[in-house]
Structure 1
Amino acid sequence: MASGLKKKTELTWLSLLVIMFLSPRFIHAMTPAQLIARYKSLHQPSVKPNLNSVSSQCLQSINDTFIKSSSSQDVTRIIDATGKIGAGILVGNLVWLGSYDECLSIKTTHYCTVAATIIDPKHNQSSVLRWGVCLPKGCNEQDIASSIEFLLDIFHIKTVKVYGSTVYCAHESPYTFGSIFTIVLCGILLVLVIVGTIIEACQMRKKDQRLHIYEDANTIKPIINEDTPLVNTLSVEKENHLITELLLAFSVRKNSIAIFNTSSSAKNVLCLNGLRTISMFWVILGHTFLWPLITGNLENVVIGLEQLHFFTFQAVSNAFFCVDSFFFISGFLVSLLSLREMDKRGGKFPVITSYIHRFLRIVPTYMFVILIWTNVMPHLSSGPLWYVNQQGNACTSYWWTNLLFINNFWPTQLAKECIGWSWYLAADMQFFIISPAIIIPLHRFRRKALTIPFGLIMISVGISAALAAVYRFDASLIANTISGGHRDPTDVMYVKPYCRIQPYLVGMMLGYLIYEKNFQSSKISMIKLVLGWVLSISLGLACVYGLKNELNRFWTVVYLATSRLGWSVSLCWVVYVCQNGYGVFANTVLSWKFWIPLGRLTFTAYLLHPIVLQVFYSGYRSGLYFSTELIVYLFASMVTLSYLAAYGVSVCVEYPFANLEKIIFDRVLKINRRGS
């Protein structure tokens, strides 16, 4: 009898904790006594309570906390810290997080986040309710899930589903071997940076002293005769020892000068600096809007999604074209620089050497960011959604796919990739690997070989059109994600090289045309100039703003198949006229020297900016209310923080390892020359 009463009491408290927050009838209850009285007045379920799936430890801790506890204040604080229904449910407020810090301040409780799936069977849609609960530490994730599932069942709530894998309780992340290794590695890099900087400072001081002696020597009159030659040069620098040279590669001063140096030669295509940096800003802008949708802490998600239909917001919702800008720039530079290098080598293309150089240039920073994301990220913050978004880190299983640059093929879902945004690096490397098959014929057969990239573009358009038609994708990537079709377009088209290669090939073709003219300006008539600008601007606007109105099936397929080609052709004209001196205002803006250092930091900023976004959004203690002003302020903050982080990683990792590669290659080259 006593045992049955005890279980009934425990069921009462479990029921109250769940039902009072899932039913509006309970939101006015203030104290535990009032809540119990309110609960007793409800219709009692006919199903016999069965709490066998809940651990005895959890039941005992609930009994000790709520029934035997002498402190009613703690009980009130527990209820106060648990999330409750807020205003704005009809505009998507399904983020009821409660007070994370208040819950953790109670010694006997811990904070857990329940991700409950709410099903809408009429429209075949579902939403996720994120509910923060404050419960005794004796209850684990499975206990909470089992309790909620049982109570939803006996109260016949069929549209809400909770599974054990969707309950996340706050906990201190353990320091694994990987965490310790990454922290030690960061410490070693920091020591190398300090030592390298000190060595360079000492060398600069000695150099200044020697220059001072040299200047004094030139003021002494000849003591033999006027024909006696005076030594007018002084060997200020001598070849460094290999160890010293390797340490100097980590010097902050040396690497900072390399980053912030704005000098350029006549053969530099300066407008690419502005294009690259503005595209990176665009990436951050798009992710600033999308990230709270991913982390799930947007309180008015319906209002946020309605912004997608506004004309002025199309540049944000279609920010995906910024990646095509990167592909275009990459293809242009690979083509132009490789063709010039072949001229120096008598028509030979160093295929293996270029592959090795590319791999060594990218991998150190790339792998460092993966280490940070996998091993350090869990320790960078905390919060109601922090542990939810830390689950399922794919890098422990799939880091090797990133190292092999096949992560846009395996795993087959973008959501399961290690640092999913790195699909771009995989695609870019794949394009680079096949580029010699285009560059070598271009150098040998000249314009006739342009049929190769042109033919590949047509094949890519055909594949994209076929996939869009077969899977019936929407033109908007975000719309596809919301509709939740049976196949995700990001997995089928968005990350696949055969659908994304069009801008890269257009860039290669333009690179050849610039190379062929040897940077000599071409005369463009006023009519051609006006028509070119009209076509370029029209194509660009059509790509970005063409989805303002819903497209029919035919035009949707056309858009998905050709929009990236249209965008790259638009950029092609801009770069071409800027390089030929007809860019006027566009060239002035894009070639501004301010962009040069930022352009050098773009690669690292691209890798790091999602970490900055994740720390902010997942670590935020409450829901966010979408507004244009919020996005603007967050965008400015994220750009600033991302580039500051990029500078730090660049001077400590990217540039030092690039210096090491150059030192080693130069030494090997000298040895080979001596041997020959």
Structure 2
Amino acid sequence: MPKLAELDDYDRCLEGAPAGDVATYCSVRVVIEPNNSSKIWHLIESFSSDHKRHYNHKHLYRGICMANCKQLVLSMTNMTKNALKADKFDTDFPYAFDGTIFRDTPGHRERYGEMVNICLNHRLNQTHQLRAHTEIETCTKNTDTVEVDWLDMSFLVVCTVIISLTIMSTYYDKSINHKQDVAHYKQDVDSKKKMIFVSFSMLRNWYRLTSRSQEPVDKDLRFLQAIRFLSMFLVITGHAALLCAVIPSQNSYRIEMMYHDISTMILTGGTQITQTFFAMSGFLLAIHMISFASRRKEKLGVSMLLKTTMIRYIRLTPLYAFVILLHATWLAKLQDGPFWKLGSELERTMCRRNWWTNLLYINNYVKADQPCMQQGWYLGCDYQMFFIGILLVIMTNRYRKLTIPLFVLAVVGSYILPALFIYYQKLEGTFIVTLEAQRFIFWYDDIYLKSYIPLHINAGNYLAGMVTGLIYLSLRKNNIDPSQSKWFRILWKMVIPIAVSSLLVHYIFYVNDYEKPSVWMAVYFTITKNSWGVFSCIFLLGLTFQVAPVVKRIFDHRIFEPLGRITYAAYLSHTFVMRLFFLSIREPLRFSYIGLTSMIFSSVVFSYLMATFLCLCLELPVTALQKLIVGNFRGITFRPINKT
């Protein structure tokens, strides 16, 4: 079969042109024209029909140096050119991004489209006796210049303001430290006005980042920082694997054969790690809000709902908006290469068009198929569940006798609703991570859009976390230690093996095409989706009550305190780092486990380095100002759990 990806030499094409000549390099999508008389075509059709485990080999990717292509076409007769031209035909699969996403694409298609079609069909006919429709996606010229507009300048202004505030605040904080004692940075200064002035102090925020609370609840739950960090490591692992499928590969067959190995389901099913974050978010929300409500004489009401959601919005949004602005401006200007525009200009355009869906936290429903910062779907879903969770706490606070019925109703609803949705939408019994969907970062994948990112699909695990928070408070109040139970200890030790084993079962959906709609698949989807949150909650309770003291001590280590706190910033910034490092390659990626491992670790290190600066210079200062101006419910704060 034709290779999925072949590229002319990018640098030689653009830099090797004679002085004064305009050199152009184009990235092209190729769709092979059906040919029933061709054995190769039948092989392509047969191999691609296993669409859950194989790429669509009817769809190819080519990088073309237009100088070479032009020279080839000029050497042909008109009869040969006409014979090689292939018109566009209907297909039942997406093969290119919307042409309006990339700047000047319509003009490039008009100018070079016919020439590219002839050139590529000449190559394809010579090697495989096939023809194809071609569509230019992006073109780069050696005369392209960096264009800076008002939005690019606004990012520089924002950076200048943040850096200036950090320098001035740090200098002021140091100047009022008359005793030159580090203890000065660990405690509040003597007035609210001074606290505002020192909110951007790098020294003070460093100690805030590395400090450890001695409150009983915080000491109980200190291990959550380790789980945040380790889960973020798994998130980056998954996104590195996704990047290997997004970037055209030299050895795609090896990746496809991985899907014939049942152990690969641990990687594809690893998307379930998101449910752990939802469970932790619900767990902390229940503990903090119910503890806060129990200390108040008056009932919680609408004002509390509005205030808590406002505080969370202030807590999350400034850093989120800053990274969105970075993606919408300077990301596309920082690198180049045959794949660079595909990853950077795509993000630039979507963040300029759809940034508002992110900042309103509705991006998991609105414009979900053209996302800015695709990982932001989790933030939208989590924010929506936070609102619902607060509403549920307020209702149980006002009608205490209805606490159990309300939670039972909510949990039952979180099982029934997704089951009905899966059934009537005729979806699979699990989230199928296909290779072809990954080529377009899931933009055009119905399974992703309908059964992975919506609130109604993920609510069950958030509610499981809230129920676990209620159980934790009840156990502490009644001085009950579940770790004394033999059965609980056995159950806790079985959680991880059962959770991992449950992922292996997903293999049946990759090797079979079951008839849909299906009642059993709808039920299976809901149970397996929500079981991950249940597994997470059992694991959390076990660590809280020290079922495994050695594991608890490791997870309580000081190193995880700052690593856990900067995970939100790392979650926002890691896709920027991965684009910057890996989308500037000059040839199709050669997949290997060593290469994947190096990609993961380098992404983790540099994402956390970037996150440290973002946290110290923006996230922690905003949190400090929010507490001073809006308040934080007498010491109760709401920390985001991060992310997918």
- Which amino acid in 2 is paired with 1:493? S
Q: For structure 1, which segment, 467-476 or 273-282, has the greater mean C-alpha deviation from structure 2 after superposition? A: 467-476
Partners of 2:131 and 2:389 lie apart in 1 by 53
Partners of 1:346 and 1:318 lie apart in 2 by 46
Other-structure match for 2:339? 385
Quick one: structure 1 residues 662 and 315, their matched pair in 2 at CA, closer, same or farther if it must change by over 3 Å? Answer: same
Alignment of 1:247-646 (within 5 A): 247-268=197-218, 269-294=221-246, 296-346=247-297, 348-349=299-300, 350-392=304-346, 393-413=349-369, 416-443=370-397, 449-469=403-423, 470-473=425-428, 475-479=430-434, 481-482=436-437, 488-518=446-476, 520-533=479-492, 536-550=495-509, 553=514, 556-646=521-611
- Which amino acid in 1 is paired with 2:293? M
CA-CA distance at 1:176 after TM superposition: 1.2
Partners of 1:341 and 1:375 lie apart in 2 by 42
Quick one: structure 1 residues 354 and 277, their matched pair in 2 at CA, closer, same or farther if it must change by over 3 Å? Answer: same
Quick one: structure 1 residues 192 and 568, their matched pair in 2 at CA, closer, same or farther if it must change by over 3 Å? Answer: same
Q: Secondary structure at the match of 1:596?
A: helix
Quick one: structure 1 residues 450 and 630, their matched pair in 2 at CA, closer, same or farther if it must change by over 3 Å? Answer: farther
Report if aligned partners of 2:279, 2:463 keep a CA contact under 8 Å in 1. Answer: yes
- Which amino acid in 2 is paired with 1:379? K
Partners of 2:217 and 2:182 lie apart in 1 by 36
Q: For structure 1, which segment, 485-494 or 248-257, has the greater mean C-alpha deviation from structure 2 after superposition? A: 485-494
Q: For structure 1, which segment, 504-513 or 485-494, has the greater mean C-alpha deviation from structure 2 after superposition? A: 485-494
Is 2:182 the partner of 1:182?
A: no
Q: Pick from 655, 661, 674: which aligns with 2:626?
A: 661
Partners of 2:135 and 2:180 lie apart in 1 by 70
- After superposition, the C-alpha distances for 1:93-134 in whole angstroms (9 at most, x for unaligned) are 513242325632433243423222233753574323131315
- Which amino acid in 1 is paired with 2:466? M
CA-CA distance at 1:529 after TM superposition: 2.5
Report if aligned partners of 1:335, 1:439 keep a CA contact under 8 Å in 2. Answer: yes
Quick one: structure 1 residues 518 and 446, their matched pair in 2 at CA, closer, same or farther if it must change by over 3 Å? Answer: farther
Quick one: structure 1 residues 474 and 101, their matched pair in 2 at CA, closer, same or farther if it must change by over 3 Å? Answer: farther
CA-CA distance at 1:168 after TM superposition: 5.2
Partners of 2:182 and 2:233 lie apart in 1 by 46
- After superposition, the C-alpha distances for 1:538-564 in whole angstroms (9 at most, x for unaligned) are 541233332245476466544422222
Q: For structure 1, which segment, 647-656 or 451-460, has the greater mean C-alpha deviation from structure 2 after superposition? A: 451-460
- Which amino acid in 2 is paired with 1:479? T
Other-structure match for 1:129? 61
CA-CA distance at 1:585 after TM superposition: 3.8
CA-CA distance at 1:189 after TM superposition: 0.8
Quick one: structure 1 residues 274 and 564, their matched pair in 2 at CA, closer, same or farther if it must change by over 3 Å? Answer: farther
- After superposition, the C-alpha distances for 1:570-624 in whole angstroms (9 at most, x for unaligned) are 1111111221222334323333332221110111111110111111221122222
Q: Pick from 107, 110, 114: which aligns with 1:142?
A: 110
Other-structure match for 2:133? 161
- After superposition, the C-alpha distances for 1:437-489 in whole angstroms (9 at most, x for unaligned) are 32134445558523433333333333333343443436343138559998611
- After superposition, the C-alpha distances for 1:250-284 in whole angstroms (9 at most, x for unaligned) are 11111111111234432121222222211111100
CA-CA distance at 1:378 after TM superposition: 1.2
Other-structure match for 1:197? 170
Quick one: structure 1 residues 432 and 260, their matched pair in 2 at CA, closer, same or farther if it must change by over 3 Å? Answer: same
Partners of 1:194 and 1:525 lie apart in 2 by 53
Q: Pick from 16, 30, 39: which aligns with 1:117?
A: 30
Partners of 1:277 and 1:192 lie apart in 2 by 29
- Which amino acid in 1 is paired with 2:434? A
Partners of 1:237 and 1:274 lie apart in 2 by 27
Report if aligned partners of 1:280, 1:322 keep a CA contact under 8 Å in 2. Answer: no
Partners of 1:241 and 1:450 lie apart in 2 by 42
Q: For structure 1, which segment, 379-388 or 98-107, has the greater mean C-alpha deviation from structure 2 after superposition? A: 98-107
Report if aligned partners of 2:225, 2:561 keep a CA contact under 8 Å in 1. Answer: yes
Quick one: structure 1 residues 288 and 152, their matched pair in 2 at CA, closer, same or farther if it must change by over 3 Å? Answer: closer
CA-CA distance at 1:526 after TM superposition: 4.6
- Which amino acid in 2 is paired with 1:130? R
Quick one: structure 1 residues 292 and 188, their matched pair in 2 at CA, closer, same or farther if it must change by over 3 Å? Answer: same
Quick one: structure 1 residues 209 and 369, their matched pair in 2 at CA, closer, same or farther if it must change by over 3 Å? Answer: closer
- After superposition, the C-alpha distances for 1:33-60 in whole angstroms (9 at most, x for unaligned) are xxxxxxxxxxxxxxxxxxxxxxxxxxxx
Partners of 1:314 and 1:103 lie apart in 2 by 42
Q: Secondary structure at the match of 1:475?
A: coil
Partners of 2:274 and 2:181 lie apart in 1 by 50
Q: Give RMSD over aligned pairs.
A: 3.3
Quick one: structure 1 residues 489 and 181, their matched pair in 2 at CA, closer, same or farther if it must change by over 3 Å? Answer: same
Q: For structure 1, which segment, 299-308 or 363-372, has the greater mean C-alpha deviation from structure 2 after superposition? A: 299-308
Structure with bigger RCO (C-alpha 8 Å, 6+ apart) = 2
Report if aligned partners of 1:173, 1:378 keep a CA contact under 8 Å in 2. Answer: no
- After superposition, the C-alpha distances for 1:15-35 in whole angstroms (9 at most, x for unaligned) are xxxxxxxxxxxxxxxxxxxxx
CA-CA distance at 1:381 after TM superposition: 1.2
Report if aligned partners of 1:97, 1:131 keep a CA contact under 8 Å in 2. Answer: yes
Report if aligned partners of 1:384, 1:621 keep a CA contact under 8 Å in 2. Answer: yes
Alignment of 1:224-239 (within 5 A): 239=190
Report if aligned partners of 1:113, 1:388 keep a CA contact under 8 Å in 2. Answer: no
Partners of 2:312 and 2:214 lie apart in 1 by 23
Report if aligned partners of 1:543, 1:566 keep a CA contact under 8 Å in 2. Answer: no
Computing the radius of gyration from Cα coordinates, the structure with the larger value is: 1
Partners of 1:132 and 1:652 lie apart in 2 by 44
Q: Secondary structure at the match of 1:95?
A: strand
Quick one: structure 1 residues 209 and 400, their matched pair in 2 at CA, closer, same or farther if it must change by over 3 Å? Answer: closer
- Which amino acid in 1 is paired with 2:325? L
Report if aligned partners of 1:173, 1:379 keep a CA contact under 8 Å in 2. Answer: yes
Structure 1: any 5+ residue segments left out of the alignment? 1-88, 212-235, 670-676
CA-CA distance at 1:136 after TM superposition: 9.3
Report if aligned partners of 1:543, 1:567 keep a CA contact under 8 Å in 2. Answer: no
Report the TM-score, using the length of structure 1 for normalisation.
Answer: 0.74
Quick one: structure 1 residues 468 and 172, their matched pair in 2 at CA, closer, same or farther if it must change by over 3 Å? Answer: farther
CA-CA distance at 1:210 after TM superposition: 14
Partners of 1:96 and 1:210 lie apart in 2 by 57
Partners of 1:177 and 1:143 lie apart in 2 by 30
- Which amino acid in 2 is paired with 1:408? N
